[in-house]
Amino acid sequence: MEFEQADRPVALVTGSTSGIGEAVARRLAADGMRVVVHSRRSTEAGEALAAELGGTYVQADLAEEEEARALVETALGRCGRLDVLVNNAGVSRPIPHDDLAAATPADWRHLLEVNLIAPWVLCTAAVPALRRSPAGGSIVNITSHAGVRPKGSSVPYAASKAALNHVTRLLAAALGPQVRVNAVAPGLVDTPMTKDWTQAHELWRERAPMRRPARPEDVADLVASLISGTYLTGEVVVLDGGLNLT
């Protein structure tokens, strides 16, 4: 039994106590992986989810480089291996695009620190273990529709996600064939955080061919597909129900 547990692949999913991250954690656990659940603050929710999934929970503030590196080290120490890294954790800050003065250098630094630099730190810390994965390691970055179109909660936010899209491609070129790197760029996702975004919900219902926003499970399905495939790398997959077509 212990051998069987150790033989199961391990996935670290950041920001996985709610929304997209939770859905991804649940899907990967259902696919037979041991999941390392992470959050910055929601320790009770993280511990409960990890217990339910038969995984483990680690708390870390990814804006702090030492804590980000320690997250990977702790995951490896507890699980003995790491096969998948899903960089889901991120932050947003609503700032009107035309209010340039409101997007302060401090806003830029914080958004880039969490949305771009933290995933980079996690990738660099995880790559040695991912290279040793028997089936090949996989990194999936959760970016945003705002990283491929001129939109989003703020210019710094959109820029941070666009940069992560490009980093995805650069890492795929640098790390193959041992490690594949892809990204999912969701449009509107129906989560508690977006429930009051009335205009966005109306836009997706009226103009997207699928006539609805994504559900967290839709994102999780795509993430699982990118992980299970053994050839696709360097792709940024836009998951917007076809809104890009209109």
How far apart are the C-alpha atoms of 133 and 79, rounded to whole Å?
Answer: 13
Q: Which two tokens stand for residue 27?
A: 């899907």
DSSP state of 115: I
- Is 231 annotated in the active site? no
Task: Indicate the SS3 state at residue 14.
Answer: coil
Please classify residue 4 by burial: count the beta carbons closer than 10 Å to its beta carbon, then call 0-12 exposed, 13-18 middle and 19+ buried.
exposed
* Segments in 80-154 forming alpha helices (H): 105-112, 118-131
With CA atoms as reference, report the closest residue to 87 among 171, 148, 202: 171
Q: Which residues of 192-217 are buried (b: 16+ CB within 10 A; e: fewer)?
A: eeeeebeeebebbeeebeeeebbebe
For residues 191 and 9, what is the distance between their CA atoms, to the nearest angstrom? 28
Instruction: Please identify which of the residues 157, 167, 171, 241 carries the catalytic annotation.
Output: 157
The letter for the amino acid at 197 is W
SS3 state of residue 164? helix
Beta bridge partners of 10: 34
H/E element, 137: strand 137-142
Please list the active-site residues. 157
